[in-house]
Structure 1
Amino acid sequence: MTATNIVISPKHQAIHVVTDAASYDRNGVLAGFVPKFYTVPGWPGGIAVRGMTIATPVLGYELTNAFATFDDIVECIEVVLPSMVNRWQLNNHIELLLVGFSESRGGPEAYVIETTDQTPIGVPEGTKGDYLPEPFVLQRLPNVIVGPVIPGEIVMEAWFEGLSEDDEPAVLKNKLCKVIEMQRHALFDDGIHWIGGYAQHSTITREGITQCLLQDWRSQDQIGQMIKPAPIDWPRWNVAHGFSPGCRLAGG
């Protein structure tokens, strides 16, 4: 289970993508730290990958060399992706999230496409998220996506006010930092913490792509062990990160 949070902001003509970097086996044992968002400066845009670790560089390279523009990949990925998956024998579940600017439709967009009908790691068997399509069917996403979904009790404990596509960039960056920290501390139905390593924030505009670290947990997360986040005091965390003790962002 990879944290993949996306905010499409037509108002600011920007795309924000926040991913974690933990790579692990199906039991949640940490194997390493890898970036999970493949940037494509030429579009500009990128591909976020959930599932097999090797899929990020392999499919990122293949797809960006196959398509010169974001509109091209949106139009043709359903046709070419099955052969790429077969050629590289990527048999386990992979989820690709495409983000970029459509010249034909005039703005920033996000899409999802799956390679199997398998249940992703960390998702209860027999269930799928509301936005997951059938294999190799491209589906457009809403402007705000938080994945995995944060349990309600953590949202309440953290006094989280939610994300908005109209948030100012500095406010949104702070909120996204809080989102992935909540995801890190969530225990999902399998009783495992899945979010770790570090949190990378990619900001995409028509002018280019910038990236930064929102959080760095590598001193806590040990290779060969399961992720065990340090206890968090949410009121103290909120104040330290520019939030009031309640749910409103200072200056927001």
Structure 2
Amino acid sequence: MSAAIMLRQRNSIHLMVDSASYFSDGIIAGFLDKCRTMPEIRCAATTLGASLWQTIIFDAISDGFKSFDEVKAGIAPLLEQLYEAHADTVCEPGMWSSADVWVIGWSDEIDGPDGFVIGMDDLEDWTLQHGDDGRRPFVVEPLASLDLGLNMHPCPTAHQLFEARFPISLAESDRLIPDIDLLQLLEVQRRMLYRGRYHFIGGYALLTSVSRDGISQRRVHTWDEDEVGRLIVPQPIDWRRWRTEREAMCGIRPAGMRAHTQFH
């Protein structure tokens, strides 16, 4: 499992991921860019699940479609074919072969940024894991059908955001600054436990942004304490200090002085 945050704003869409790959006991196996950019089709994608899915899915999207809108329209049957062909080989026997695919891009149909999530799994296994939550595998979930224009996995609770002193309503998506606010959300996610056992978010934070003009991707933070062969152990954070230092690093005035500043 991995972390992902998708944020759509007026003129762009962003995808923040971490980079840690780990074994079933939580030990870090390595670090990798979990988001693939596809500039020729103004599209980017990440997967949550077994890491071997990434190359398989990324290559299939890049080779099979000529635009983001084609990806959105045709990805469901493609993923069904890939799942049937590779589900038995992407992970060790007895482990979940399911995955979620997150895609962002520039849509010519709506002349704007767009994104969606789609799950891959055997229907029986999906029902066992998710219950009757209304979702189904191989069905595109547009970002428009999700709350706020913001999607996160794992999703912090309101109390966790309060404890982190997150200063902006998540409903105000155009006020969020990806380099600051998405990283703070990722730091909150980093402190969540996977199935109550271990922390699973780390390495470095990779931010991908898509606009009419194309795609950019960059590392916005590295957790130097994370090492291959060890568990992830997040360090304590003074959230007020963290916020002040991050805003200064990005050349942003303190949060209390931002009321009349617009971000796009």
> Shorter-chain TM-score category?
0.7 to 0.9
> 2:162 maps to what in 1?
156
> 1:182 maps to what in 2?
188
Q: Normalising by structure 2, what TM-score?
A: 0.81
User: How many positions carry a matched residue from both structures?
Assistant: 238
The one-letter amino acid of 2:77's match is V
- Equivalent position SS for 1:42: helix
Which residue of 104, 109, 117 maps to 2:109?
104
Question: Going by fraction, where is helix more abundant, 1 or 2?
Answer: 2
> 1:251 maps to what in 2?
258
Say whether 1:211 aligns with 2:209. Answer: no
Separation in structure 2 between the aligned mates of residue 17 and residue 213 of structure 1, nearest angstrom: 12
- Equivalent position SS for 1:223: coil
Separation in structure 2 between the aligned mates of residue 166 and residue 234 of structure 1, nearest angstrom: 22
- Equivalent position SS for 1:83: helix
Which residue of 52, 61, 85 maps to 1:87?
85
Q: Deviations over 1:97-151 (max 9, x none)?
A: 11112212332111111111546xxxxx844796x83111112123211221114
> 1:134 maps to what in 2?
136
Equivalent residues of 2:12, 2:112 under 8 A apart: no
- Which blocks of at least 5 consecutive residues in structure 2 are unaligned? 92-96, 249-253, 260-264
- Equivalent position SS for 1:241: helix
> 2:38 maps to what in 1?
40
Q: Deviations over 1:122-181 (max 9, x none)?
A: xxx844796x8311111212321122111444312211134332126xx33211121111
The one-letter amino acid of 1:111's match is F
Separation in structure 2 between the aligned mates of residue 156 and residue 17 of structure 1, nearest angstrom: 23
Q: CA deviation at 1:199?
A: 0.4
Equivalent residues of 1:19, 1:37 under 8 A apart: yes
Structure 1 pair 196–128 and aligned structure 2 pair: CA distance change class (3 A): farther
Say whether 1:26 aligns with 2:33. Answer: no
> 1:122 maps to what in 2?
none
> 1:166 maps to what in 2?
174
Separation in structure 2 between the aligned mates of residue 72 and residue 57 of structure 1, nearest angstrom: 19
Separation in structure 2 between the aligned mates of residue 222 and residue 106 of structure 1, nearest angstrom: 43
Say whether 1:220 aligns with 2:204. Answer: no
Separation in structure 1 between the aligned mates of residue 32 and residue 72 of structure 2, nearest angstrom: 26
Structure 1 pair 250–226 and aligned structure 2 pair: CA distance change class (3 A): farther
Q: CA deviation at 1:251?
A: 3.0
Separation in structure 2 between the aligned mates of residue 129 and residue 172 of structure 1, nearest angstrom: 33
Structure 1 pair 42–189 and aligned structure 2 pair: CA distance change class (3 A): same
> 2:12 maps to what in 1?
14
Separation in structure 2 between the aligned mates of residue 84 and residue 189 of structure 1, nearest angstrom: 27
